[in-house]
Structure formats: structure tokens, C-alpha cells
Structure 1
Amino acid sequence: MPRRTATMLASILTLIALLCAGVLIPVPYSEMSPGPTVNTLGEHGGEPVLQVSGHKTYPASGNLNMTTVRVTGADYRMNLFEAVYGWLSHDNAVVPHNTLYPDGQTAEQANQENAEEFSQSQESAKVAALRQLGIPVSARVVVGSVVKGSPAQGRLHAGDVIKAVDGKRIEAPGDVAKVVTRHEPGEKVEFTIVPAKAAAAAEKAGKPEPRSTRTVTVPTKKAPGDDRAIVGIQAGTDHTFPFEVDIKLADVGGPSAGLMFALGIVDKLTPGDLTGGKFVAGTGTIEDDGTVGPIGGIEMKTVGARGKGARYFLTPQDNCAAAARDVPAGLTLVKVDTIRDAVKSLEKIRKGDTGALPECAKG
């Protein structure tokens, strides 16, 4: 065989081998891309995203779109070609698999965590929106969950209202751990509670929380990995709302829609339009006190929002630098730190005073 032919054949075989390797060899990466964006003032799946009963609502035009990021699943194994294509793509991002699914998290675990975060974001959005409008919302510390096999199992139950621990009045979820960890592992802790069933029955009947309480003694044990005393519960906050607010949006997870849900609720409960009919999108977690927190995948969300027609994008302050590095043409990034900031910026957009908007600056 002539040397030239042999060299060409070897090159072709090498190329074929590389192509096969690129297709067959998995790499430890995942991909993020722009996901769906939904107007919180509109409908999704044939029904309103925000539904309010027991309080007057007002028509709202324009858009207050929540945004999402589409990610490859926990079980998906990307090959080398897909990774290179993602790196070269302007609208996608390739990140280490552990960034999205830490500690070998399974698809089921990821879905469960996203569902829990989404549910909590809805609750906080309602609280923040009503408090922004000056509508009182009562709060109480409850047993959020009980760890299976822990000392608390069978003694405390999810939904139990925690009034005191060791006689110390509980004002916030963090107070519970502070009292429990003062003990040595093996010592007992006294919880003063209103049982979940009694509290739920009173709320359903529209009656005040029962004044009668029970004292439950729970032994402690050593926490895994350190010497702290624990009982095996996660304390949380439960709210009582003066009227019903439902958020109807399936197939979405995570906490990042909190800000846009809250603004949608504010718009529904106040006369006029927050946006003045403009197309505004955004993202950000939200706390009960209205504080807006950062999220992941900000670059994907701005691309998705602009692709749907958004002109303004409400951006958490801590995401501004990353978002400003590559802003889609025609999109203005508006910096927000609280729901109050967002409402003030929407007022400027509505009035056309866009020159006074607090825009994100490049880091």
C-alpha cells in the first residue's frame, strides 16, 4: 500500500475513533438554557396564574413575567460533542454536573427539593405582597418536618405550633435550635405546643388559635458529624391569611419566581396597572419581609425574557454584575433589592420616567 494512502487511511481511522469517543464518552457536565416564561397577570394552562377570593381585585394589563431555566436532568450524561456545542453556543451554558446536582443528588431528590422551594416561594410571595400593601398577615412557628427515626418522631408532628421550648417563648424558627443546642446530647427538652390537628381545625373554622397547650418532652441525641444536641425536627413558619390567594402554575420548581409572584399579587389587589401596560419580566427569591435574593442562571433568563418581548428585566442586586456582562439588545436591567424597590421602579416605568431607573452596571 502506498505511503500516502496508508497515511490517509490512518487519519480517517483516527478521526472515526475521535468521533466515536466524542459520542460515547460521557463528561461530568450539565447544560442550562432559557426556559419558559409565564405572565403572572395572565393565564397558564387555561386558568389564571393568580386567583384571589374573599377580597376585591382589579383588572391588570401588561406583563409581569416570571422566568425559568431549562436544565438537563440529574440522570442525563452529556457526551463530549454536546459539551463543546454548549460551550460554543451563545444562549446556552455548560456547567459542572455537581453545580446543579451536588453530592450525587438523584432526579427524585432534585425534583422534591425544587417542589419544596417552589411551595415556600409561593408562601413568601403572598406574605411579602400583602405586607407591602399594609394588609396584616399573622405568623406562627411550627414543626415543619420530623426526621424519620429521630427522637422527635411520634412525639412531635408536622404542623404542631411551637409556643415555647424549655419555657422560653419562641418568636422565630431559629429560636428552636438555639434552645435545643444548649443541651448536651441525651438530655431532654420540653416543647410547649398546640397540636397540629387543633390548630388546623381552628383555622378552618375561622376561629383564633386554641389557647390550650400540651407539654411534650423529647430526648436529644448527638448530631451527625458534630457534638450538637438535636431532636430531629425542622422548624418553619406558618401564616394565616385574611383571604385566599392561590398560585396555579404546574411543572415549575425552585424559589426564583417569588418576586414576580409577589408583584403580580400586588397588581391584582390595587387599582390601575403597575406596569402601565409595559412588558416587564424578572426573577428573584423573596423573603417574608420583602427582601429579594439572587438566583442561578441569570444569563439564560434574560435571553428567554427578551425572546418573548420583554423590555425591562427586574434583576436581584447580587445578580446585576453577571447579568450586565451580556445584556440582550433592547432589554433594560433594573436593579432591585426589595419588593418596595421593584414597585417604585415599576412606577417609573409606568410614568415613562425610565431615565431614573436604577440600572445594573457592569461589574
Structure 2
Amino acid sequence: MDWILTDKDGSPRSGFKTASIRDLQELESGSYWPQLRPYFLRPEYHRIRYSILGKTAGQLAPENDVSIRGASKAGELEVAFVADQLAAKMSITGIGIPDYCLTIVGKGALTFSEKGRAAHTIDPNLGLIYRGIPETDLTSTGAQERVAIWIPQASLTQRLSALLGTPVAGDPEFYPVFQWDKENLMVLRHLVNVLMVELQAPTPTFLGNEAANRSFSDLLIYALLRSLTHNYSNQLERPNFAPAPGVLRRAEAYIRANVEEPIALHDVAAAAGCSVRSLQIVFRKFRETTPLLAIRQFRLEAAREALRSSDSAVTLTAVALRFGFSNPGRFTRFYKAAFGESPLQVISRRRA
């Protein structure tokens, strides 16, 4: 995969809070962490330790950055950027971190190893997902860049239970290495690309909007569970019961009642009394759509009613943001496709 993670100067593009590190001791002691606030505030992340390998006097001129660290957030997901000029080793220490980490290599390579398992070499064509258990190490080559998406354990297990429609006996255990070009990873690959573009955009389209943020992280976690191999994969592949239209009515009633709020699929499924998989089946069978597209349509219909009934001072941007559309241009395209006219035309009629 051709992941473009940095500008020409080697720094992560806009969307990241960055720390440029020139002192080896600063990197190895972790004293740069405060520069990344308000991201990665949980104390567990300080169990991540770095050490520089093969240190050589004069290897870098004093004006060079030894490393660049970046941090950002997308809904429930903490996103880290790492660019090391020298070979370095990252280790999970202490009692570890309960969360999962999806790692995308943009440049160079790294070796992943954890206690009791064979080591794997990861390059831009391979993806990596691991849990922050003690004695997990990532050893990178020099001139290496990567993005790490940290997914809360509770969020991932909650989505897995919602997919299965039943509590899970234990946390998912993933096979750590996968190939990005596999056909079944198309959705996950697309969502990662969307996140990379969003983090690098001068004006983000959804990261500043709570409803859109939650929908995106929700979708990425579900895609990860459906496309990567783990100990519940076989259960997810089993045929699932297609629920009755009553479930559909309850789901749609919940969506209508919450069009101005962030909506997660597991919340809709819980209100409907079914699993997320069953929810997906019933929308496909009875509405020929997906739950996410249905949520968008209900938001558009609510926005249409708001435009028609609001006073003449209402703005397109205010209505778009109210119903979870952080990008007015995208809202306009969706609205016109749904109703055959633009929201500005509705506003103009009101003002006339």
C-alpha cells in the first residue's frame, strides 16, 4: 500500500499535535509526552517506552530531528504518528495496555514480536494489529514512518457482542499480520484511507463533529471485526436469523427520535431488540439499504423539515451541523440527490 503520511519536510500533515525530538534522552525518557496534549492522556500509554538502537556519535547533525511524534483523535480512537530517523525499539512495559493497536507502515519496516510467538516483519504492504500486552516489542528500521490507531478494548468488545447478539466469553484475539490488498479488506482499507485524508486535510470534514466522529469510529471498528481474522471469526460467518418487520419499526423509531444525536449501530440494535448483524440483514431485506445509509436518510429528512419550518435567518451550515453533517458541501450533495433540489433553494423560498 502507498500510504502518504508526511509532508516534504518529514512531519505529519495537519491534524496532528506534534513533538519534534532532537535529544535521544528526551525520546527514551518519554519527557516529550506533555507536548502531545490533549491526546493520549491516559496513564497506561506511558507504559510505552522507546530506545534508540545502534547509537553512533555524529550520526545525526545537532539540527536534525531524531524523531517526530504526532497525536490526534477520531471519536473513540487515539491516533499516533511515529517517524524515526534512527533504528528504534518500542516496548510495552509494566502491566501493559488493555487496548488494541492497528498499525499502518508508510515507510521502512518494523519487526513485531510478543512473548512466546514468532516475530513478523511488517512493511507498507502488510498490516498489523496487536494488543498492548507486556513484553510486546516493535523494532523499526531507520527512516521509518507509521501510524498507530489505538482502539479501546471495551469499545471493540462491545461491538463484537453487538454483532453476535450475545455477550462474549472473552476478548477477541487477532492473528496479528494481514495483507492490505486482500479483497475482504476493501472496506477497512477504504476507511483507513479516509482517516488518513481527514487527518491531513487543512479543513477536516468530520473530526470536528461529534455525531460524524462517532459514526466513523463505529464503522471502522465493525469493519475491523468483520474483515480481520480472530477467535470469533467463525461465529460471525454463521447464518443469522433475519428479524421480523417489528424489529425494523423499532429501529427506525429509535433513529427518528435521535437524529440530532450521535448514533451508534449497537444502540440502534439494542433499541430494536436484535444483534447488529440482524439489523444489517433486516434493512437489506426490507429496505434494500444499510443501517448507516438509513440513518443518513432520516437525518436528511429531518434537515429538510427544519429548513422548511425555520425562520428566514437560518443558515445551511447551522442546519447541516445540527443533523450531523460537518461538511456543508457534502450535505448539499446528499440533500440534492435525495430531494432533487439544493437546501439553498429551500432557504431562498423561505426568504422570498
TM-score (norm 2): 0.23
Q: Which structure has the greater CA radius of gyration?
A: 1
Higher relative contact order (CA 8 A, sep 6+): 1
Higher helix share: 2
Higher strand share: 1
TM-score (norm 1): 0.23
